[in-house]
Amino acid sequence: MLNLLHKGDGPVSRETQGLATYLVPLHRLVDNTYQPRQVNDPDHVLGIAKSLIDLQPTLPETRGLQQVPMGRIVRWADSWQPPAGDYENQDTIRQYIADPQFVVEMAFGHSRRLAFDVLATGVGSVFPQLGIAEEVIFNGRDFDSNVYADMPIILLPLTDRQMWQQAIVENAARRDISAIEKAQAMKRAIDELGMSITDAAAASDMSRSAASNLLRLLQLTEPVQTMLMAGDIDMGHARALLGLEGAAQITAANQVTSRKMSVREAEALVKRLGAEFNLTAPRKPAHGGSDKPGDVRRVEEELSDLLTAQVEVRVKKRAKRAGRMEQTGEVAIQFGSLDELNGLIERLRALGGA
């Protein structure tokens, strides 16, 4: 079964039936090096903790976990990893787990680990800012904290690229991460793992153009990136602010948030500041033709973000309808393979509630 799950640097299946599960002390677990999420939602983690308590009587071997996370063994001092053959011998793996020189780096399941921490050490030790009595949080649920001192983990000889892929898949499937976190994860894959933008985009289930647009967000100043992560501004605001640099960008972002500006108002602000201080470069016409109106570009960008694919709005001609002149045209969505097309169809179905 191990060979079926682990072949070279390819994707790793999450089908875990028949694989050995090991109990690992919580203090020996570390996060995935490539984990993009920087902020954990206490409500989400506490919801997992409550679920673990409720399911533990029926799933005692996994401590209430419906899916056991995967991980790999790493030597703490120098990140050395055991050879793949060692994973075939359960006694050898248990020796690594018992050796204080080694830790288990989780591929996914970080929120579940925090939930175990909550149940083993108390809410206050994990989320001291909450200040809520555990009796209130758990609503009278009775549990033995000692049960959650160790966490079940499936151990595999995962490569760095596979660890990155697992981190991306986990967050896409379970909890949304911010655009900045996605962009940072994409950049690490390119810089540290030697992946091309095309490969990183495919592994993230998005088009190459959508990935390129995502990476552009890292050109924002750090304070503006923080605003985007916190939800103080949205993607439309961020794209507009890319027209400015440095202090001017931060000043504009602060005005956008304090005045609760719409995206259109933010674009107008950037244009005005750019003209006043000669801070922006003229926009290049797309495909060598005339520049599109701001409203059309904004629709293209919003649709591209929504579908994670390159979208082009083509305005063709004006026609008279109901006594007034209306513009007509078409929307083109690009895809690079049948897999991308199938993913696009699934996203459209999900948006339509089909």
Mean pLDDT by 10 residues, the chain (354 residues): 45 64 96 84 90 94 93 94 94 96 94 94 86 74 92 95 85 69 88 86 79 89 91 90 89 92 91 72 44 69 70 71 71 73 74 60
pLDDT value, residue 278: 62
**The domain made up of 220-281 is a member of CATH 3.30.70.1450:** no
pLDDT value, residue 158: 94
pLDDT value, residue 140: 79
8 Å CB contact between 113 and 151: yes
8 Å CB contact between 36 and 30: no
What are the residue ranges of CATH 1.10.10.2830 in the chain?
A: 220-281
pLDDT value, residue 93: 96
- B/e letters for 163-187, b = 16+ CB within 10 Å, e = fewer, are bbbbbbbbbeeeeebbbbbbbbbbe
Longest CA–CA separation in the chain, Å: 81
pLDDT value, residue 312: 78
Which residues is 317 bridged to in the sheet? 328
